[in-house]
Structure 1
Amino acid sequence: MPGDLVMKRSAMVLAMLFALGVSSWAIAAPVKVFILCGQSNMEGKGAISHLEQLLADPATAKAYQHLRDDNGWVERNDVFIKYNDDRGQGKLGLGYGTPTNRFGPELEFGHVVGNAFDEKVLIIKCAWGGRALAVRFRPPSSGKGDYTQRNKQTKELEPLPEETYGEAYRDTLRIVKESLTGIDKIVPDYNKEDGYELSGFVFFQGFNDIIDQKKMDEYGKNLENLVRDVRKDLDAPNLPIVIGELGQQGVEPEKRYAEKHFAFRKMQEDVSKLPEFKGNVAFVKTSPYIVSDGESFDGGYHYYGRADTFFNIGHAFGEAMVQMVKSN
């Protein structure tokens, strides 16, 4: 049949090309770049000491065994990371949390996406504690805010300096662009012909907004604008974006705080449900991974600093991201 003949001839041509050493038919494999952005929980507060306990316990060790081998903590040869301007870069492993005896969502996120894709992966992590979306992460489309600070000398309230608004947003874009310009210094054997592709953005933030009612009231609109502005400023109109739930206090928050937490989480989720973001923005819950009745390695602000919690959050972020990237 004609179809069979075409297939046979195509196979013959390919065989001849390979025999002649023709390499121009090789499929390009651009480095997949993921941006992880947020405040202190994205910095990472998972205690490495707790991770060691989990690995030493036969009941829990299996879930974490890929993180360590006979030579010590594993560093992946196909996943690389750059953390802020000055927090380090190199192969993905431990050491990219704040402080360095901690780790964040980047660890297991990197293993999930690294396992899912054949291409090399670069994670650019931009995170600073105490940054509100209403102020320092404020996206350009939200305009200037009208917040105040107390003057240390006069003790009087005064407007925040204009340059404060969007400071962390601008720093994130700058770090991303500088990292991509110098990607060959981060990713070994980087092939300029293959290049890179912006593959996803994770935003895990919110505590400094939920504790201020005025900031909380505008959070939903600011988050919408963040999604749009990040895509515009990175020239990636359909960039898959994960919104990490502010899951402080777990699935059932204290009664006195419950209404506020549920309202905040709904604002985050509602952004992911906007028609324009269908299929390329995902809301990922983190509250189910809170372990409130176990040992604490940090304050309640940081999911108790538990390694299992930050590991599971990173895994959930990774799975949601892989699903969006592959479906798009």
Structure 2
Amino acid sequence: MHVSSSFAFPSLASIALIFLASASQAAPVKVFILCGQSNMEGKGAIKHLEQLLADPATAKTYQHLRDDNGWVERDDVFIQYNDDRGRGKLGLGYGTPTNRFGPELEFGHVVGNALDEKVLIIKCAWGGRALAVRFRPPSSGKGDYTQRNRQTKEIVPLPEETYGEAYRDTIRIVQKTLANIDQIVPDYNQKEGYQLSGFVFFQGFNDVIDQKKVDEYGQNLENLVRDVRKDLDAPKLPFVIGELGQQGVEPEKRHAEKHFAFRKMQEDVSKLPEFKGNVAFVKTSPYIVSDGESFDGGYHYYGRADTFFHIGHAFGEAMLKLNQP
């Protein structure tokens, strides 16, 4: 049998390169859920971000967010924000109001730079939502909180449907988005599908101001992790808990004890044996700049772009660690 000298079997190296190329092109989309209240909605001022980019002392840190054509939109990271607050390529414009941005911006750059796969961020955030009430997970059962009736001025129980409203909306939005993922992620490969790869929860202000809600926060947070994993059918879904760090590393004396205790409660959940290696607590208080210009009065981390940028970066780094094999 004669074999033509013009034919050459592919080398093992060539076969490996072909396999790796096809695998990278057909890998499942990595899906991350960012959930919480107003700080997750995003209050970082774009006006401040422009100032940071104009200052030679800080411009280098943020230069990847803008190029000669304007604000960068990534071709490999996509976002769905609630039902009606926007979808598309990750860039600016996914905060509330739209002249703000949240942790999603730098989070998306961190995970997008590190991962070969396309990334989809599903952001579910609403201001003024307590974990004890609207984010209340099913395993916590019905709460027993009250409100004042506007007409009679009497104190009456909260309507039963109020409990868990934001939790249910989060699960619904995630499921609806994933059912229509091909409308958000270009060239979505149905065969390869997607992989739920992480959940970030950044919330707490509406609980810390009410001692009754503080008292049950730890148990509610535990239940949130378990219930989200159950309802999304992702038993080991990596979970990042963002510290309620509004008061900074050293809170005001009159608030210090309560805030330190609350932060410890959040961190303690991440240390439970069942959550070892798949739940992380991320400090946000170190990124507070309390002696600089404020873009949101005394609220929402002063609305500073540098603070929200660094918080998003920290969330992204923590999530990548949880996703390591």
TM-score normalized with structure 2 length? 0.94
- Cα distance in 1 for partners of 2:309, 2:243 equals 15
* C-alpha distance after superposition, 1:240-280 (max 9, x if no partner): 00000000110000000000000000000000000000000
Q: 1:161 corresponds to which residue?
A: 159
Q: 2:57 corresponds to which residue?
A: 59
Q: 1:5 corresponds to which residue?
A: none
- Cα distance in 2 for partners of 1:72, 1:26 equals 33
CA RMSD of aligned residues (A): 1.9
Report 1:147-296 matches (<5 A): 147-296=145-294
Aligned partner of residue 31 in structure 2, secondary structure: strand
Q: Which amino acid aligns with 2:163?
A: Y
> Structure 1 residues 49, 24: closer, same or farther in 2, change over 3 A?
closer
Q: Give the drift of 1:93.
A: 0.1
Structure 1: gaps of 5 or more residues: 1-9
Structure 1, 50-59 or 295-304: larger mean CA deviation: 295-304
Answering whether residue 50 of structure 2 is matched by residue 47 of structure 1, we say: no
Q: 1:140 aligns with which of 138, 145, 153?
A: 138
Q: Give the drift of 1:56.
A: 0.1
- Cα distance in 1 for partners of 2:108, 2:22 equals 30
Q: Give the drift of 1:300.
A: 2.2
- Cα distance in 1 for partners of 2:209, 2:183 equals 40
Answering whether residue 78 of structure 2 is matched by residue 80 of structure 1, we say: yes
Aligned partner of residue 269 in structure 1, secondary structure: helix
Report 1:12-51 matches (<5 A): 26=23, 28-51=26-49
Q: Which amino acid aligns with 1:169?
A: Y
Q: Which amino acid aligns with 1:38?
A: G
* C-alpha distance after superposition, 1:53-95 (max 9, x if no partner): 0000000000000000000000000000000000000000000
Structure 2: gaps of 5 or more residues: 1-8
| Percent identity between the two aligned chains | 85
Aligned partner of residue 130 in structure 1, secondary structure: coil
- Cα distance in 2 for partners of 1:226, 1:148 equals 22
Answering whether residue 296 of structure 2 is matched by residue 298 of structure 1, we say: yes
Q: Is the 8 A contact 1:114 1:121 kept in 2?
A: yes
* C-alpha distance after superposition, 1:105-135 (max 9, x if no partner): 0000000000010000000000000000000
Q: 1:129 aligns with which of 127, 130, 134?
A: 127
TM-score normalized with structure 1 length? 0.93
> Structure 1 residues 78, 15: closer, same or farther in 2, change over 3 A?
closer
The alignment covers a number of residue pairs equal to: 316
